[in-house]
Amino acid sequence: MQSVVSNGFQINNKIQGKLEVSYSVANLSLLERLVLNHDGRLFQEDWNDSSGKWEVYWNSLESECDVYGKCGVYGSCDPKKSPICSCLKGFEPNNKDEWNKGNWTSGCFRRTPLQCGITDGKSDKFLKLKNMKVPDYAYWSSGGQDGCKRKCLKNCSYFAFAYYTGIGCMMWNTSLVDIQQYSAEGADLFIRLAQSELDPHLRKDLDWKKRFIIVEGICRGLLYLHSDSRLKIIHRDLKASNILLDEELNPKISDFGMARIFGSKQDQANTLRVVGTYGYMSPEYAMEGRFSEKSDVFGLGVLLLEIVSGRKNNSFSNYESLSLLSYAWKLWNENDIVTLIDPALDFDQSFRVQILKCIQLGLLCVQEYPEDRPTISALISMLDVEDVADLPRPKKPGFTRKKIYSTDDELVPQYGEEHVSINLVSDLTVLSGR
């Protein structure tokens, strides 16, 4: 086998695993030489007749980050930072003393073990790193970007993947070495991490503008199901983990396994088998098996309060409060509803009214009796109201004093291996939509 690349290097395979590398100059009038110095740096030098000297035209190390494995395993090098080496998110230095002294070759270790393949373990997530020089020793695979994601997600032995146009799918099942941050170009590198490593990081990254885009998108999606679709569809399991976000954070409502189709003149239905997720089910559905458009609106209200507060409805301990709904109602009656806003939410004061409006709309959606809740079309109209004083005042939410168990209590649906769930605000799911 013989390979010639554009810069003049020619590689010839020899017997017994040896390689012979030769270099040819395209312009024979030029006098060039390659110099390998004592620390392993390779220089290309051209002879300058005018000065009578060799001048460096190119060298293999433009920065310290070009030294192979400068930051060790799971370390990333950025020549524009000081120090240049840092551990990837979710990793810590193997030897902190040496690391602090500027010797980074020992690299980093994973802080939280991966859960992939562990029974009842929470699914691992992928952290996206932009403009990266990808690690060495990649496993190459055919197929497009979506196929690359699916292959990596299906196999617990892969720790990272990347897709680069013109190169294809790359996956890694060994420790990641020689990662570098570029200011431009490079590839998007996805690192597998335990779910707990990503939740706080991504929640903080969701500013109010992004959260409101999600709110509006969910509302439009529910309006389509209830009014604009050829068939009226009641989802019956509207919750955070059933909202898929694409890379621009546009939401899509997913998982219609529990959905029911209504006739054009049908307003509600009854069932003897209550299925769904505790914390998102309306009282009339959980207690009596009655469901309607207003049941979905109740789930939407829970989502609104979760997005604003950054907390799950069922994340409250008994001594703290029964649920997010009861906590929000308590703050509302104490005129202290501002306390509900997520502390990680760094927002401009110009958004304050919009945030408070979403809290009030959330409380209107979770009122105890379905006839008091707005329809989704009315709710979307209320999103455009500028003064919250013009909105109806909410009545008591439909929370219960003890847990109501259902056949699918706290069910977390499986979306297939192509989906990656990331707790951005609660369990909003990122990377791919349906």
Nearest to 108 by CA among 121, 95, 127, 126: 95
**Residues in the chain, total:** 434
Point out the catalytic residue in the list 78, 124, 178, 237: 237
Tokens encoding 327? 């906590």
Query: 428 — phi, psi (to 5°)?
Result: -60, 135
Pairing of strands 75-77, 179-181: parallel
Q: How far is CA 70 from CA 58, 76, 85, in A?
A: 21, 9, 8
Neighbours of 294 (CB within 10 A): 24
Distance CA 236, CA 53 (A): 79
Check whether the bond before 83 is cis (ω within 30° of 0).
yes
- Total H helices, total E strands in the chain: 9, 24
Q: What is the dihedral of CA 238, 241, 242, 245, to 10 degrees?
A: 130
Exposed (0-12), middle (13-18) or buried (19+): which is 13, by Cβ within 10 Å? exposed
78 catalytically annotated: no
Hey, what long-range contacts does 149-154 have (CB within 8 A, 24 or more apart)? 149/190, 149/418, 149/420, 149/431, 149/432, 150/417, 150/418, 152/190, 152/192, 153/417, 153/418, 153/419, 153/420, 154/417
Residue 133's nearest CA partner among 201, 70, 39, 56 is 70
Bridge pairing between strands 429-430 and 243-245: parallel
CA distance 428 to 410: 15
- Return the number of other C-beta atoms located less than 10 Å from residue 173's C-beta: 14
Q: What 3-state class would DSSP assign to 372?
A: helix
- Structure tokens belonging to residue 343: 């502390």
CB atoms within 10 A of CB 156: 15
DSSP state of 367: B
Catalytic (active-site) positions: 237
